[in-house]
Amino acid sequence: MATPTEQVNKQQKPIKVRSNTVTGTVYSQLVSVTITDNDLTLEFVYVNPRTSNEEVLEGDVVARVTLPVEAARGLPDAIRETLTKYGAKKGI
């Protein structure tokens, strides 16, 4: 019997990201991370669920953020700290 992870991997379809697109305000489902010597770029991607019957899904970039590498180093800690404070405030 297949494990849950194996079942999910079998169901996943390839996703083609149209990187020159920026759509309106929608929730991102995926994030792409690109790192160079000088900066880090996060591209947040939305995949339209109506295209789920196609062989290859297409995703649109909904936001793109580029940070200098030094600023990006502290990003995970800042996110974690913010989530911890929010959780404490909301009692989660």
Reported as a single tens digit per residue, the pLDDT across 48-91 is 777 656 677 777 788 889 999 988 988 889 989 999 999 999 88
CB count, 10 Å around CB of 62?
19
32: nearest Cα among 60, 53, 9: 60
Residue whose tokens read 């989530």: 83
Give the residue with greater pLDDT, 28 vs 1: 28
56: nearest Cα among 12, 15, 18: 15
Q: Kindly state the tokens that stand for 19.
A: 């990187």
User: With 0-12 CB in 10 A as exposed, 13-18 as middle and 19+ as buried, what is 59?
Assistant: buried
Reported as a single tens digit per residue, the pLDDT across 6-27 is 544 455 666 666 666 555 556 6
